[in-house]
Amino acid sequence: MKAKILLILFFIAMVVAACGQKKEKTRNSLKISTAPFGNMPDGTPITLFTLVNSNGMIVKITNYGAIVQSLTAPDKNGKFEDVTLGYDKLEDYIRDKSYFGCIVGRFGNRIAKGKFTLDGVEYTLATNNGPNHLHGGIKGFNKVVWDAEPIKNRESVGVKLTYLSKDGEEGYPGNLHCTVMYTLTNHNEMQIEYKATTDKATPVNLTHHSYFNLSGNGRRNILDQQLWINADFYTPVDETLIPTGELAPVKDTPFDFTKPTAIGARIHDKNQQLEYGHGYDHNWVLNDADGSLKLQASLYDPVSGRLMEIYTEEPGLQFYSGNFLDGSIIGKYGVRYTRNYCAVLETQHFPDSPNQLNFPSTILRPGETYHTVTIYKFLTK
């Protein structure tokens, strides 16, 4: 009898343990799924990849423009909401001129007058921003269809996107083979790993252009969100937003974010640089940038408690406070995007580097591999 009871108890214990294990498995399950996201005007089908981590964070990525279409992060009560601006439909991204969520390339930010000289040869690029070349030209990497494949590992899920930018595209020399790997980890990180190789020397400066707004589903502007940038210097610009070449100290200016500061605290100060940018639209020179992955910036929303940390290997960070959003765009959740509705935080080399030889070089040569990693990590406090 006793033996029978013991056997039954043992059996019950086994069943409970097995159930627990199953629960644990479900909790840890990382998921990736794909769905159609419409067609290009020529009929090319576009895909939307949905990545989910074990905490329930969701990142949606499309192979049109390598765009992050949405990204959710928990607030201090554990509520996941979207912290990026953008659209619901492919057609809106095709029409878009604001670079929502995309990969920018071949060269992030501006090249003066769309010209540069490399190894004695002058190259002329497309000009699409007043007199200057911006974000890769008229049809940058944000406007092309990338090849994409889902990736699943033990601790992360991701999408590997590849694109061949042909010799002469938008005026750039060399066939550039690019790979961008987006990864979502169980530590609530979106990691972006960029790689490129070329068959002719060319400037390369890839970056990511998500419009972050930590309030959740775009419910408030970003003026009360606190920005920290680990930078004692920034690169002042002329009236067309081309760096003057100077590295200016941020101390005693509205550009000092060495301590977390509300974005709106000084954005309306009388300051010629803010006038040129219509707000913040400048590149910060990150301290101690030695090519290794470092925590270099953060954004914090005191209301929701959401905190985003940015780790990067890049020497610069462009902070654009959405100064060109004029209320004409209605985006996700039916929100009208007005000025200062976002913080675009683009890890990069400095604008106009091909013409500014005192800036870190952006030239990639045959035989070399361009390789850089940036992580956007989501926490609460």
| Of 240 and 292, CB closest to ligand GLA | 240
Report, in Å, the least distance between residue 218 CB and ligand GLA: 17
Nearest CB to ligand GLA, comparing residues 93 and 99: 99
In the complex, which residue's CB is closest to ligand GLA? 320
Q: Are the C-beta atoms of residues 211 and 342 closer than 8 Å to each other?
A: yes
Query: Is residue 135 annotated as a catalytic residue, yes or no?
Result: no
Which residues are near ligand GLA by CB under 6 A? Answer: 98-99, 109, 134, 241, 281, 318, 320, 324, 344
Shortest Å, Cβ 125 to ligand GLA: 16
Q: Which of 133, 209, 282, 349 is catalytic?
A: 209
Location of structure tokens 């006793």: 2
Closest to 229 (Cα-Cα) out of 314, 135, 341 = 314
The candidate with the shortest Cα–Cα distance to 49, out of 181, 137, 243, is 181
User: Dihedral angle at the C-alpha atoms of 167, 168, 169, 174, nearest 10 degrees?
Assistant: 30
- Under 8 Å CB-to-CB from 264, ≥6 apart: which residues? 222, 223, 224, 340
Tell me phi and psi for residue 135, to 5 degrees.
50, 45
**Residue 113, SS3 per DSSP:** helix
Quick one: 74 or 236, whose CB is closer to ligand GLA? 236
Given the complex with ligand GLA, which of 326 and 368 has the nearer CB atom? 326
Active site residue 346: yes
**H or E segment and range at residue 93:** helix 90-95
* CA atoms of 372 and 282, how far apart (whole Å): 21
Catalogue the active-site residues.
209, 346
